[in-house]
Amino acid sequence: MITANQLRAARALLGIDQREFAERAGVSLPTIQRMEASDGVVRGVIDTLMKVIAALETEGIELIGENQPSIGAGRGVRLREAAPRPDREG
């Protein structure tokens, strides 16, 4: 599974726009736009999702699921659970 936030973050790490990523994944630009605009887990045709994930992995992106350790080396980002924030009154 991949979330819209993961997809946007992965593309940002690669430094490419939606059009370039769509070409690399072999899917249409509207498909990538729809995936990135979705709420939470990206849903769609399995074949299309597999193309997107394969393209990310080919580019060196490791998708890390919730509570899953990273198996690779290198730089990356992970969104941790939000800690309660103190009120910021100024």
Local confidence band at 59 (pLDDT 50, 70, 90 cut-offs): very high
pLDDT at 70: 78
Domains, in order of start, for the chain: 4-58 (1.10.260.40)
Q: The whole model's pTM is what? A: 0.78
What are the tens digits of pLDDT across the range 22-57? 999 999 999 999 999 999 899 889 999 999 999 999
DSSP state letters, the chain: --BHHHHHHHHHHHT--HHHHHHHHTS-HHHHHHHHHSSSB--S-HHHHHHHHHHHHHTT-----TTPPP-S-S-----PPPPPPPP---
What is the rounded average pLDDT of the residues 58-81? 78
